[in-house]
Amino acid sequence: MHEVMSVEEVERIMDETQDAIEYQRQIDDMLAGSFSQEDEDAVLAELEAITQGDVELPEVPEEELPDVPEAAEEKPERDRPRKKAEREMLAV
């Protein structure tokens, strides 16, 4: 295994993975609604401004959307079956 990756590369990957996990936790906390009092106050103030009409919202287009060509009507990318990754044999 040492021929494939150095110890430094493994440590770097582990550090990047830990950073990504921490970042994901932050996102999860935000989505779960764990706002600070300051964040919640700012959101409520913005909501109040929007509902009172104090905020100028963008104009909504009135023209109809163009027709979608038939080729684009195929299954979305996520609904298509995925190709299985080919396995590589490594010397141990």
Residue 46 lies in a domain: yes
- pLDDT for 23: 92
Q: How far apart are CA 78 and CA 73, in angstroms?
A: 14
Q: What is the DSSP letter of 18?
A: H
- pLDDT for 21: 94
Residue 67 lies in a domain: yes
Q: How far apart are CA 92 and CA 63, in angstroms?
A: 63
Query: Alpha carbon of 20 to those of 17, 25, 72: distances in Å?
Result: 5, 9, 35
Q: How far apart are CA 51 and CA 41, in angstroms?
A: 15
Give mean pLDDT in consecutive 10-residue pieces for the chain, a chain of 92 residues. Answer: 81 93 87 78 86 79 85 58 62 57
- pLDDT for 65: 84
Count structural domains, the chain: 1
Range of the domain at 12: 7-72
Residue 88 lies in a domain: no
Residue 47 lies in a domain: yes
